[in-house]
Amino acid sequence: MRAIFPQGSEASATALKLSPGVLSNGHIFVTGMTGSLADGTMPDDPARQFRSAFDKIRAVLQAADTDTHAIVEMTSYHVGIQDHFDLFNEVRCVYVSDPFPAWTAVEVAALRRPGALAEVRVVAAVQA
C-alpha cells in the first residue's frame, strides 16, 4: 500500500490525516474531492466547481502515473442534485472515456466544505 500525493497537497492532507489517493492491490482509491480551488475558495459557478473536482482527481491519478481513463468506479455526492445533475454529467463526460466507469450519484443534505455542490470519489485501475 502506498499513499499518493499530487504536488502541493501534502500540507493539507497531513493536517486532515488523509491521503489524496492510496495505491493498493492494483487500484488507486481517490479521496472524495470537492470543487474548491487551490487557494481554498469555493467557486460560486457550479461548472467551475465540477471541473475543479475532476482536475484534482486527475492530479492524484497523474501522480500515480495514470489518468482519468483508468477510472473504473465513481461515486458522486450532490447537494441539490436536481438543480445541477445535467451540468455535472456534462462536465463528467469530458473526464471519462469508454469503457465508462460504473457510477452512483447520491443526494446528500450537506458536504463538509461550505458551498460545495458535489464531492466525487473514484477508484482507478493501475495497468500492470
The CATH number for 102's domain is 3.30.1330.40
Domain span holding position 18: 2-125
In whole angstroms, what is the distance from residue 38 CA to residue 23 CA? 23
Residue with cell 455526492: 77
CA 56 to the chain's CA centroid? 6
Which residue do the cell numbers 499530487 mark? 6
Question: Ramachandran region of residue 21, left (φ > 0), alpha (ψ -120 to 50) or beta?
Answer: beta
| Total count of domains within the chain | 1
In tens digits, the chain (128 residues) has pLDDT values of 998 988 877 777 677 788 899 999 999 999 999 999 988 899 999 999 999 999 999 999 999 999 999 999 999 999 999 999 999 999 999 999 999 999 999 999 999 999 999 999 999 999 75
